Amino acid sequence: MSLLTGRAARPSTISPESESSRLAELFQRAATGDTRAFATVYALLAPRVWAMAEAVTCDHDRAEAAAVQAFEGMWYAAPSCPSEPEAATAWAMKIAVRRSLGAAGDPRRPALGPPATPDRRGQHVRQVLLALPEPQRDAVLLSCYGQLSLGALAFALELPKQDAAALLSEALIHVAGSGLVSKVP
């Protein structure tokens, strides 16, 4: 269950290690123009990318635009994807974070229109995420929505593992202090 949304995560049928290895190989094939390989990348990453985009934008249309832009970015940048399995997943989810934040716009400006579904909890999640300092926000998004391991998170944030863990811990303490998480068992 996600700490931020209260929604259950989709069960995965393969281990994170197998998925990461498969993604690295699929991105290498996509870099040569293999559209079937990229379709598989989409199938593997779409649930995470969509969840992240929805949480950040709190608007279905903006989330859709962010997800499309994220996958377009992954397609065009596939030749620069790292070949290490954890790094490939981190690389892809970092693109998704950037596109989601870009679609969300500046948190200091009012939204272009009302959200498609005026959900107070969703708005609160968005406000808490956008209020975090950028490194903490990235850590939460990549960890909770990108489902990255600590090693992959460290790679994405370009930090040693212990620093990535500390950054994520600080961010989650801030999120808990926001009232978003009422109790952690």
H helices of 8-133, where? 16-30, 35-57, 60-77, 85-104, 120-131
> Which numeric CATH code is attached to 16-106+117-177?
1.20.140
Mean pLDDT of 171-176: 82
Query: Quick one: tokens of 84?
Result: 């290490």
Query: Is the pLDDT at 114 greater than 60, yes or no?
Result: no
Whether the CB-CB separation of 20 and 32 falls below 8 Å is answered with no
Query: Is the pLDDT at 16 greater than 70, yes or no?
Result: no
What's the pLDDT score for residue 36?
94
Query: Quick one: tokens of 124?
Result: 């609160």
User: Where exactly are the structural domains of the chain?
Assistant: 16-106+117-177
What's the pLDDT score for residue 120?
67
pLDDT digits (tens, 9 = 90+) for 33-60: 999 999 999 999 999 888 888 888 878 8
Q: Helix 85-104 vs helix 35-57: angle between axes, to the nearest 10 degrees?
A: 50
What's the pLDDT score for residue 9?
44
Local confidence band at 20 (pLDDT 50, 70, 90 cut-offs): confident
Query: Is the pLDDT at 110 greater than 50, yes or no?
Result: no
